[in-house]
Amino acid sequence: MPLDYHSLLTAFALSGCGLAITFFVSWLASRTERFLIAWTFGVAFMALGVLIYSWYAQTMSPAVGAAGYTILLAGLAFVFGAGREFRTGILPWRSMAIMATASSLVMAVPMLAGYNGAAIVMLNVAATIILLVTAWDYWLGRAEARLAIPLLTALYVVTGLSFVPCAILLLQDGEWLLSQAPSNWAEDLNIVVCLATLSGIGALSLALNQARLARSHKRDAETDPLTGLLNRRALLRRIAGDIKGPAALVVFDMDHFKATNDVHGHPAGDDVLRSFGKILALSCRSRGLAARLGGEEFALLLPGASLITAAKLADGVRRRLAKRHFSGEGGAFTSTTSAGVAYSEDVVIDFDTLLLDADKALYAAKRGGRDQVAVSADDTEFLAHSWPSSDRRRDAADLVRLKAG
């Protein structure tokens, strides 16, 4: 039974309208994902272009044909833009405009001149190029979803290549002046492929968006908004998950932070916290977990690190903060931090106990005059015998003279 070409065109247009509405509603639910709007326009324009083409197939009016194909190509340009914005976060208006304008011109000029056969060839070539470029753009971002994005890329490639036989048959026939719209197996195959891949591309695009939203929500739930570090709950979750001991824990607390806020203002205090968060993140990088426990208190968990390593790192963080200069309502100022270090040799980390030991060391550092590092009482003797006296002028006895408790 032969395919009803006009019914397939209508089905594509209706599917496109439904998908455009779905993308628009998804954007309303999450307006930060702006690529959904580009997708909405792209699919809507393609659906409208196909409807106008269906009208052109009945009237063979050059103006109607040029209008329908121009809208279709504009829709493809928006689809390309949606893919680029999904990957980079930036809608490439200039590239989209150049793509839509250039492809429309090479199609519209012969169409309006009466050479509709040549115009349809150019349409198919332009559609193939745009879809293959879109596929390549998604392929560049495949690291985000190793399965879904390559599959999406493949669908774009298949869709783009389905336009090729349409152009080849017209070129083989050499008919540049057509009395009716092309009707052959290639046209039927093209619309069937487009109809099938449209649903798949739409479903995968929405699924990728939902996965990204889920990751974003998880990241927001685990991240301190001011410093970008992990929050307390996220740190506990990581420890309860795949973090194994032995490990060292360093707890930091900003010295006289209330006075900083009172004298210099809360914005200046926030600047201090942000700067310290950056210092902490750069200090641990891939070998530890940095978190803001709350207020002006921070933690640094170092799996596999020795007590000496943790104490050295804590002292380095303290020194780097002391060298920073800030400004606020009370003028220029500096800020310091105190730190307490605790160590556990256990494979399963008892965070509450480790935190309690680190807090005791921190309080000892505070009582000893602030701007210094102390270790827990259980670890002091070990550190005193292990710390190399030649490491810096301030030797082990000076660094660990404070005992928790």
Residue 148: alpha-carbon gap to chain centroid: 15
For residue 63, give Cα distances in angstroms to 6, 102, 135, 159. 20, 18, 31, 27
For residue 286, what pLDDT band results from cuts at 50, 70 and 90? low
Mean of per-residue pLDDT scores for the chain: 85
What's the residue count for the chain?
405
Residue 400, pLDDT score: 44
Residue 238, pLDDT score: 76
Dist CA 137 CA 80 (whole Å): 8
Q: Is the pLDDT of residue 80 over 50?
A: yes
Q: Is the pLDDT of residue 1 over 50?
A: no
Dist CA 213 CA 92 (whole Å): 22
Q: Is the pLDDT of residue 31 over 90?
A: no
For residue 377, what pLDDT band results from cuts at 50, 70 and 90? low
Do 140 and 87 contact (CB within 8 A), yes or no? yes
Do 118 and 176 contact (CB within 8 A), yes or no? yes
User: Which H helix or E strand runs over 231?
Assistant: strand 230-231
DSSP strands (E only) in 354-394: 373-375
Dist CA 392 CA 136 (whole Å): 55
Q: What is the pTM of this model?
A: 0.69
When comparing pLDDT for 346 and 171, which is higher? 171
Tell me the per-residue pLDDT of 307-359, one tens digit each, with 9 for 90 and over: 888 888 899 999 999 999 999 888 999 999 999 999 888 777 777 888 888 89
Dist CA 181 CA 194 (whole Å): 18
Give the DSSP letter of residue 229.
S
For residue 176, what pLDDT band results from cuts at 50, 70 and 90? confident
